[in-house]
Amino acid sequence: MIGKKKKEPPPSNGNEASILEMAKFYFLNSKYNEAIAEFKKALAINPGNAEAYYNLGLIHENRNNTDEAKDMYEKALAIDPDYKLAKDHLNKLIGIQKKI
């Protein structure tokens, strides 16, 4: 069933972890503009936050903005080369299929 769920956002006290939590809440509720703003806030505090880049990649991928999504996944992988989900999504977008 294709649908949306709605909840209240978690309280934010302005630190990186709570901003990230808030951003993911917006993402899960398909409030992508709000989620982008929060992920960017998290990156302003810590530019080395691979998870924030990965999530921004997901939002762009959801919006069919392939180039931007690839850019974000690449940034996540530059920070954490073992970020499996980022690698899987990037490979999918580039067109690299998993070998049997």
Partner 1 sequence: MKKRQFAVIGLGTFGSSVARELASKNAQVLAIDTVEEKVKDITPYITQAVVADATEEKVLRSLGISDIDCAIVAIGQSMESSIMITLLLKELGVKSIIVKSVSDLHSKIVAKLGADRVIFPEYEMAKKLAESLVSPNILEEIELSQEFNIVEMVAPKNFWGKSIRESEIRANFKVDVIAIKRHSPTITDEGQSDIKEEIAIAPGGEFEIRENDIMVLVGKETDLDHLKEI
Applying CB under 8 A, which residues contact partner 1? 2, 24, 27-30, 54-55, 58, 61-64, 85, 100
Nearer residue to partner 1 within complex by CB, 13 or 67: 67
Output the smallest distance, CB 15 to partner 1, in A.
19
The structure tokens listed for 46 are: 């810590």
Output the smallest distance, CB 19 to partner 1, in A.
14
Output the smallest distance, CB 13 to partner 1, in A.
21
Nearer residue to partner 1 within complex by CB, 74 or 88: 88
How far apart, in whole angstroms, are the C-alpha atoms of residue 66 and residue 95?
Answer: 11
Distance between alpha carbon 46 and the CA centroid of its chain, in Å? Answer: 15
The alpha carbon dihedral of 9, 12, 14, 19 has a sign of negative
Nearer residue to partner 1 within complex by CB, 43 or 58: 58
Q: Is 6 exposed, middle or buried (0-12, 13-18, 19+ CB in 10 A)?
A: exposed
Output the smallest distance, CB 41 to partner 1, in A.
16
How far apart, in whole angstroms, are the C-alpha atoms of residue 43 and residue 46?
Answer: 5
